[in-house]
């Protein structure tokens, strides 16, 4: 796709636009000047030679002047439009108008109109807003517009997209209002590096996967799990010797029953071999600080509100 952003394409688009308009003007001029020559033996009576219903003949008259001027004005309008608005490749036009600028203007206007509404909630803490029905109603609508695409309209997520309603599932990081605000504002990137080389061959990786399954009491092959325990030292630096994770690193707890990226030996083997990168995009470019404040309160309320926010359950995988 990089071929479509080099310097040739703006010139290509500009050439097509101008040539098309000039071609229309040329065609209009030729049509106004052209005449039809009579066939041999036919009278020169200013007809095209076409006859219908025995005596209905098509005259070869020029276009009416008003019609001709209408076409000319259309061509002039097209040239003026291309001079004022962007339509010639990378040329921005005299007005410097752009869809991005128009969108940004609409966003700023909307934010100005809504500022008094959000200002009412900005003086309250996120924990307090987590039990405020009006704030939660606004936060829910904002969540539907901004977050539901990944986490779902019910906020229960799906594979690789965290469930925000599970009060018992662990968050990857210190749970609470500050953590939610920071994550929504700046985004979050979670990286599990590929560990296949560090562990060894496929048989060793399968044994390690079964050992990981055993940590949460999930169905597993006990013989493979016993052999895989010695390989877990490659994972302990992040997940801890006991497999309970590390919130400071965002390393998930492997001893609970929440599997964000899929459950079973095959899914774990795939993550060990290939690693995993999950990205929560930053919402600061889209939302104001006051909007994030209200959205954070809604997210906090999904798993029990302020009373649950102080809890520190195990981290999710």
Report the C-alpha gap between 260 and 192 in whole angstroms.
13
pLDDT digits (tens, 9 = 90+) for 34-66: 655 555 555 566 777 778 888 788 777 777 788
pLDDT digits (tens, 9 = 90+) for 245-302: 887 788 888 988 888 888 889 999 999 999 989 899 999 988 889 999 999 999 999 8
User: Around Cβ 111, how many Cβ atoms within 10 Å?
Assistant: 14
- Token pair recorded at residue 186: 């700046």
Confidence band, pLDDT 50/70/90 cuts, at residue 309? very low
With tokens 């779902």, the residue in question is 152
Report the C-alpha gap between 146 and 132 in whole angstroms.
21
| 316 part of a folded domain | no
Report the C-alpha gap between 92 and 286 in whole angstroms.
25
Report the C-alpha gap between 257 and 219 in whole angstroms.
11
Report the C-alpha gap between 274 and 261 in whole angstroms.
13
Whether residues 271 and 196 fall in one domain: yes
Whether residues 287 and 235 fall in one domain: no
Report the C-alpha gap between 28 and 33 in whole angstroms.
9
Whether residues 146 and 262 fall in one domain: no
Whether residues 119 and 180 fall in one domain: yes
Q: How many domains is the chain built from?
A: 3
**Which residues have a Cβ under 8 Å from the Cβ of 199 and sit 6 or more positions away?**
205, 208, 231, 234, 272
| 221 part of a folded domain | yes
pTM above 0.75, yes or no: no
Whether residues 172 and 286 fall in one domain: yes
| 97 part of a folded domain | no
Whether residues 72 and 200 fall in one domain: no
* Containing structural domain, residue 134: 104-187+281-309
| 91 part of a folded domain | no
With tokens 């990226």, the residue in question is 261
Question: Which CATH number characterizes residue 238's domain?
Answer: 1.10.760.10
Whether residues 14 and 77 fall in one domain: yes
Report the C-alpha gap between 309 and 304 in whole angstroms.
7
């Amino acid at each position: 796709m990089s071929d479509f952003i080099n310097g040739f394409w703006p010139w290509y688009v500009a050439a097509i636009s101008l040539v098309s308009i000039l071609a229309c003007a040329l065609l209009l001029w030729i049509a106004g000047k052209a005449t039809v020559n009579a066939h041999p033996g036919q009278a020169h009576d200013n007809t095209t030679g076409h006859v219908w219903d025995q005596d209905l003949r098509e005259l070869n008259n020029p276009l009416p002047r008003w019609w001709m001027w209408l076409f000319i004005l259309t061509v002039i309008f097209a040239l003026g439009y291309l001079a004022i608005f962007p339509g010639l490749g990378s040329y921005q036009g005299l007005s410097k108008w752009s869809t991005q600028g128009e969108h940004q203007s609409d966003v700023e206007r909307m934010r100005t109109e809504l500022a008094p509404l959000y200002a009412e909630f900005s003086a309250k803490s996120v924990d307090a807003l987590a039990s405020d029905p009006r704030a939660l109603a606004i936060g829910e609508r904002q969540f539907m517009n901004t977050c539901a695409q990944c986490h779902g309209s019910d906020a229960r997520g799906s594979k690789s997209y965290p469930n925000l309603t599970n009060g018992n599932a662990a968050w990857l990081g210190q749970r609470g209002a500050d953590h939610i605000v920071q994550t929504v504002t700046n985004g979050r990137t979670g990286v599990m590096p590929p560990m296949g080389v560090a562990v060894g061959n496929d048989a060793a990786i399968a044994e390690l996967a079964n050992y990981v399954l055993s940590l949460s009491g999930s169905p597993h092959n006990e013989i493979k799990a016993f052999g895989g325990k010695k390989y877990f030292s490659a994972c302990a630096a992040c997940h801890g010797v006991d497999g309970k994770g590390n919130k400071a690193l965002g390393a998930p707890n492997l001893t609970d029953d929440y599997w964000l990226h899929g459950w079973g030996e095959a899914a774990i083997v795939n993550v060990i071999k290939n690693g995993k990168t999950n990205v929560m995009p930053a919402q600061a470019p889209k939302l104001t600080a006051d909007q994030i404040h209200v959205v954070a309160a809604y997210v906090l309320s999904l798993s029990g509100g302020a009373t649950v926010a102080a809890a520190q359950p195990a981290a999710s995988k």
